[in-house]
Chains A and B, each alone.
Chain A
Amino acid sequence: MRTGDFVEARRRLQEKSLAATEKLTTLSQAARLVKDGDHVAVGGCMFTRTPLALLMEILRQGQKELTLSKNLMCNEGEWFMAAERVEAIITSWLGIGLPWGISRILRENAESAEPKVRYEDLSHMALGLRYRAGAMGIPFLPTLTMLGSDLMDVAEVKPMTCPYTGEKLSLVPALFPDVALIHVHRADAFGNCQADGYPFMDADVAAASTRVLVTAEEIVSEDVIRRQPERTIIPGFMVDALVEVPFGSFPHECHGLYRADYGHFDEYVNQIHEHGTEAIRLYLERYVFGVESHEDYMALFDREKIEELVQEAAMLVEIE
Chain B
Amino acid sequence: MSIEYSNTELLAVHASREMVGVNTIFAGVGIPLLAALLAKHTHLPRLTIVVEGGSIGPEVIPGYLPISTNEMRISHRAQQLVNITDIFLLTQRGFLEVGFIGGAQVDQYGNINTTVIGPYEKPKVRLPGSGGANDIASLCREFIIVTKHERRRFVPEVDFVTSPGYLQGGTTRRDAGLIFGGVRRVITDLAIMGFEAETKKMQLEYLQPGATVEQVVENTGFDLLIPDEIPVTEPPRANELEHLRRIDIDSRFL
Contact = CB atoms under 8 A, between A and B. Distances in A.
Contacts of B127: 102
A93 B71 contact: no
Interface in A168-215: 168-170, 197-201, 203-204
Interface residues of A, number: 65
Interface of A is mostly: mixed
Contacts of B88: 124-125, 128, 145
B252 to A, nearest CB: 7
Contacts of B177: 144, 147-148, 159, 167-170
B61 A316 contact: yes
A94 interface: yes
Contacts of B115: 121, 150-151
Interface of B: 29-30, 52-55, 61, 64, 67-73, 75-77, 81-85, 88-89, 91-92, 115-116, 120, 123-135, 138-139, 160-164, 167, 172-173, 176-179, 252
Nearest to B66: A97
Interface in A135-173: 143-151, 154, 159, 167-170
A97 B67 contact: yes
Interface in A240-254: 253
Which of A46, A253, A256 neighbours the largest number of chain B CB atoms within 10 Å of its CB?
A46
B68 A199 contact: no
Given A169-B177, A200-B53, A253 B130 contact: no
Contact of A145 (B55, B64, B134, B179): B134
B73 A198 contact: no
B71 A253 contact: yes
A-B residue pairs, 5 tightest by C-beta: A168-B177, A148-B176, A128-B85, A110-B126, A125-B88
A144 B178 contact: yes
Contacts of A47: 68, 70-71
A103 interface: yes
Interface in A292-307: none
A132 B85 CA distance: 8
Contacts of A94: 128-129
Nearest to B163: A149
A77 B199 CA distance: 42
B54 A106 contact: no
A200 B139 contact: no
Contacts, number: 194
A313 B69 CA distance: 16
A71 interface: yes
A256 B72 contact: yes
B77 A200 contact: no
Contacts of B82: 199
B234 to A, nearest CB: 28
Contacts of A230: none
23 contacts: A46-B53, A46-B68, A46-B69, A92-B130, A92-B131, A99-B67, A109-B126, A121-B129, A123-B130, A123-B131, A126-B135, A145-B88, A146-B138, A149-B164, A154-B120, A170-B177, A200-B70, A204-B83, A255-B72, A255-B75, A316-B75, A316-B76, A317-B72
B130 A93 contact: yes
Which of B88, B134, B135 neighbours the largest number of chain A CB atoms within 10 Å of its CB?
B134
Given A46-B70, A47-B71, A203 B83 contact: yes
Nearest to B137: A149
Nearest to A99: B67
A102 B75 CA distance: 25
B72 A123 contact: no
B67 A125 contact: no
Interface in A48-95: 48, 71-72, 91-95
Contacts of A34: none
A146 B161 CA distance: 10
A91 B130 CA distance: 9
A255 B167 CA distance: 40
Given A46-B70, A124-B88, A262-B67, A144 B138 contact: yes
Given A93-B129, A319-B77, 14 more contacts: A94-B128, A110-B123, A123-B131, A124-B131, A124-B134, A125-B88, A129-B85, A167-B179, A198-B84, A201-B84, A201-B85, A313-B72, A316-B64, A316-B76
A246 to B, nearest CB: 18
B57 to A, nearest CB: 13
A45 B84 contact: yes
B30 A98 contact: yes
